[in-house]
């Protein structure tokens, strides 16, 4: 019978996700992961199997936590327009705060791994669809309430908003000025006007 685990698996998975999100898959070494997770090599391999398996679990964890939280904002705010504005404004607030600009882990992974890693590509697609669906729900609520134009199909508009959100996060990661980020946000949100 094996020894019981002496660590909280969810906690170490969160730390691994943060590391991958900040650096990307290739730039995060096994040594980096062991340090941030506080695990020995044997515990790491016994629990997660490999760096690749840990990365895939980290992507799932990102969708289950970060994407879920953004989706909850889009679903729970009664005003679809306010919900969408809040999500965009949170990116600007994050950038103003001077914290680590990491972009979107799904977007980062889409460009780094998805072209040559089918498992990562599948998880990225699932995460993106989850947020697309949340945006669509907010757009539909806004259209029904008359606060968002009905000129565009709700699904198409949701996809447009989501892709612009990822682009805004990328621009913030690149260190673009607050003024430029605000311009991007304002033009994007203007597509909601009736």
pLDDT value at residue 101 = 78
pLDDT above 70 for 121: yes
Whole-number average pLDDT of the chain: 92
CB neighbours of residue 159 within 10 Å: 16
pLDDT above 50 for 126: yes
DSSP-derived 3-state class of residue 176: coil
The stretches of 24-100 forming alpha helices (DSSP H) are 30-37, 41-48, 51-62, 68-76, 80-96
pLDDT above 90 for 31: yes
Q: What separation in angstroms does the CA of 92 have from each of 65, 156, 164, 167?
A: 20, 24, 13, 12
pLDDT above 80 for 6: no
| CB-based burial, 49-69: b 16+ in 10 Å, e otherwise | eebeebbbbbbebbbeebbee
pLDDT value at residue 3 = 52
Compute the distance between CA of residue 187 and CA of residue 190 in angstroms, rounded to an integer. Answer: 5
Compute the distance between CA of residue 133 and CA of residue 109 in angstroms, rounded to an integer. Answer: 20
First to last CA, the chain: 66
| CB-based burial, 148-157: b 16+ in 10 Å, e otherwise | beeeeebeeb
Per-residue three-class SS string for 70-88: HHHHHHHCCCHHHHHHHHH
Compute the distance between CA of residue 139 and CA of residue 79 in angstroms, rounded to an integer. Answer: 9
pLDDT value at residue 99 = 63
pLDDT above 60 for 1: no
């Amino acid at each position: 019978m094996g020894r019981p685990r002496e660590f909280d698996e969810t906690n170490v998975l969160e730390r691994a996700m943060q590391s991958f999100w900040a650096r990307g898959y290739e730039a995060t070494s096994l040594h980096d992961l062991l340090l941030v997770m506080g695990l020995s090599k044997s515990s790491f391999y016994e629990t997660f199997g490999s760096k690749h398996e840990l990365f895939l679990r980290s992507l799932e964890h990102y969708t289950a936590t970060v994407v879920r939280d953004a989706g909850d904002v889009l679903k729970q705010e009664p005003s679809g327009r306010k919900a969408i504005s809040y999500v965009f404004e949170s990116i600007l607030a994050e950038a103003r705060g001077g914290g680590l600009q990491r972009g979107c882990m799904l977007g980062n992974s889409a460009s780094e791994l998805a072209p040559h890693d089918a498992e990562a590509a599948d998880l990225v697609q699932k995460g993106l669809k989850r947020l697309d669906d949340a945006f669509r729900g907010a757009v539909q609520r806004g259209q029904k309430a008359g606060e968002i134009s009905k000129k565009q199909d709700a699904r198409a508009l949701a996809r447009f908003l989501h892709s612009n959100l990822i682009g805004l996060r990328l621009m913030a990661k690149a260190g673009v000025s607050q003024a430029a980020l605000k311009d991007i946000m304002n033009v994007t949100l203007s597509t909601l006007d009736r």
